Structure 1
Amino acid sequence: MQSAKPFKIPESVLVVIHTPDLQVLLIERADHPGYWQSVTGSKDAPDEPLAETARREVMEETGFDIAALGGELRDWQLANVYEIYPHWRHRYAPGVTRNTEHVFGLQLPAPLTPTLAPREHLAWQWLPWHEAADRCFSPSNAEAVLQLPRFAALSTP
């Protein structure tokens, strides 16, 4: 007998993957074709550090090993609290309707080809940041991409 899948933890990360010239990687959800997003994912355990959640999700969803690629992962110190879409609430414990999403940026040296998990994502594309923001289905994801020029400027020496 198969055990029940544990409920998702309502605390997640959003990782805006970008290049120095502000190209942004978007990936298309397999469970909702046409829904484009940055890397997202929930903590695996309540005590999992957010940066570890971000690194794990980037590896799972793109195949990018941040350390091996020389990428720079930065916690933008932004958190979005939002209503979980009704069609995804079954993944959470009964009564859980809100999620807290912590925003990170990951700068890569250049656009790279991701290795997608086919059960999670169908396609990928690199777009200029303003076009990427327009393409995101999630308002919090679009807003994070719109913040990219400000956060990228902060990381420039």
Structure 2
Amino acid sequence: MSRPFKIPQSVLVVIHTPDLDVLLINRTDLPGHWQSVTGSKDHEDESFEQTAVREVREETGIDCAAGRLTDWALENVYDIYPHYLHRYAPGVTRNREHVFGLCVPAGTPVTLNPREHTAWQWLPYRQAADTCFSPSNAEAILMLPEFVA
């Protein structure tokens, strides 16, 4: 049975502490590629908030009820990396990404999904921005102080 095509609508969730330490997770399919939580909608009717809550739980084991999920009302539109295009319907080349922040207490436990990520780390936000591979992810992390002020 073939998998359905991915929906080109996703979320980026910057998980952070009140002191602006940011959680980054390392991808299994691209070792050394650190990022915040990301993920596509499972179905067209799934809201971006529902997607964010689900992806945070699936990728980190963190329940969004443990913190405060904030819709940053930002969206990025970008070209899908060529090595991922096969996951999308023919002709789909761009993705729309909705940005959220999730403030959690320092010391919040992280339990990774080993199929998706191999390691995690908390870093001060500027260092986290320098570490992640995605320009839109880095830009969102650098905006963090604006959203917690």
TM-score class, shorter? over 0.9
Distance between the aligned counterparts of 2:62 and 2:14, measured in 1?
Answer: 13
Matches within 5 A, 1:5-20: 5-20=3-18
CA distance in 2, matches of 1:111, 1:82: 33
Structure-1 separation of matches of 2:69 and 2:47: 13
1:146 counterpart = 2:142? yes
SS of residue matched to 2:126:
helix
Map residues 99-110 of structure 1 onto 2, 5 A cutoff.
99-110=95-106
- 1:125 counterpart residue number: 121
CA displacement 1:21-51 (0-9 Å, x = unmatched): 0000000000000000000000000110110
How far residue 109 of structure 1 moved from its aligned partner, in angstroms, is 1.7
Q: Identity, % of aligned pairs? A: 70
Q: Write the mapping of 1:67-146 to structure 2, written as runs, cut at 5 A.
A: 67=65, 69=66, 71-146=67-142
Q: Provide the TM-score with structure 1 as the length reference.
A: 0.94
Structure-2 separation of matches of 1:149 and 1:10: 28
TM alignment of 1:7-86, pairs within 5 A: 7-67=5-65, 69=66, 71-86=67-82
Measured after TM superposition, the shift of residue 65 of structure 1 is: 1.0
Task: Write out per-residue CA displacement over residues 71-122 of structure 1, whole angstroms, 9 at most, x where no aligned residue.
Answer: 1000000000000000011110010000000000000021323100111000
State TM-score, norm by structure 2.
Answer: 0.99
Residues 19 and 107, structure 1, Cα contact 8 Å, conserved in 2: yes
**DSSP 3-state at the match of 2:140:** helix
Query: Any stretches of 5+ residues in structure 1 without a counterpart?
Result: none
Q: CA RMSD in A?
A: 0.6
Structure 2 unaligned residues grouped into runs of 5+: none
C-alpha distance in 2, partners of 1:122/1:55?
A: 21
Kindly tell me the number of residue pairs found equivalent between the two proteins.
149
- The ranges of structure 1 where at least 4 consecutive aligned residues each deviate by more than 2 angstroms after the TM superposition are none
Look up the equivalent residue of 2:74 and give its one-letter code.
Answer: L
C-alpha contact (below 8 Å) 1:23/1:111 kept by paired residues: no
